[in-house]
Each structure stands twice: as C-alpha cells, then as structure tokens.
Structure 1
Amino acid sequence: MSKNKGARIIITLECPCRNLNSEYKDKRKKGIFRYTTTKNRKNTPRRLELMKFCPNCNEHQQFKEIK
C-alpha cells in the first residue's frame, strides 16, 4: 500500500491574461494557459501566486491559484 501524502494538495495556476482579447495582435495564440503544481495546505493556507512564463503573452506573468 502507498503512503498518504499528508497535507500536500494539487493546485492549478492560471494566467491573468485570459480575459484580454484586444491585445492578441502581436501575441502567439489565443486561449487560457495553466500550470499545475502542489502546495502544503498547512504552510500556505492562502491562495498561491507565482511568477511563471505565459506563452500566450510571451512574457512572465503573476499566475494565481484557482479552485
């Protein structure tokens, strides 16, 4: 049997550019870009925010945790 992972949960991070439709003239492609990662529920009870690369924006953005 496998061990329980404890307080670690899988979360999804989403780029805030998902609602900007007018700025896609020079950008790569339309759509929503998301990352998946894990976090410790006990150490970080609030929503996680990380700087990640968004291929839709072609730059680094502040990705926020979604439910």
Structure 2
Amino acid sequence: MEQVFTLRCEECKSENYRHRKNKKTHPDKMEVKKYCPTCNKHTVHKERK
C-alpha cells in the first residue's frame, strides 16, 4: 500500500519534491534535509499530504 506525498520546505514553504512510501511500515510523517532551489540551500523538508 504505497502513498504518494509532497515534501515542503520549512523555510519558504515551497513544495519541491514528490515521494512515495509504504504507509504500513512507516506510519509517521517524513522529515528530510534536502536542497531547496528557492532558498538556494539545504533545508528541512517535511511531509505534506
């Protein structure tokens, strides 16, 4: 049971990445440090449904 979701930058709130995960094995919201082209630096990106 895969779910597709969007990763949103915490600083500028732009939605940069789409990702998928298995909801049964990873029920928590995802939080990753990725590059944001809008901020032009690495920032924390959190899962948005």
- Above 0.5 in TM-score? yes
TM range (shorter): 0.7 to 0.9
Q: Could you tell me whether the CA contact under 8 Å between 1:12 and 1:36 is conserved in 2?
A: yes
CA apart distance, 1:34: 2.1
SS in 1 for 2:32: strand
Q: Which runs of 4+ in 1 moved over 2 A?
A: none
The alignment-based identity, stated in percent, is 37
Size of the aligned set, in residue pairs, is: 49
For structure 1, the residue ranges without an aligned partner over 5 or more in a row are: 1-6, 20-31
For structure 2, the residue ranges without an aligned partner over 5 or more in a row are: none
Aligned alpha-carbon RMSD (Å): 1.3
Asked which structure has the greater CA Rg, the reply is 1
TM-score by length of 1: 0.65
TM-score by length of 2: 0.84
- Determine the C-alpha separation between the residues in 2 that align with 1:10 and 1:17: 22
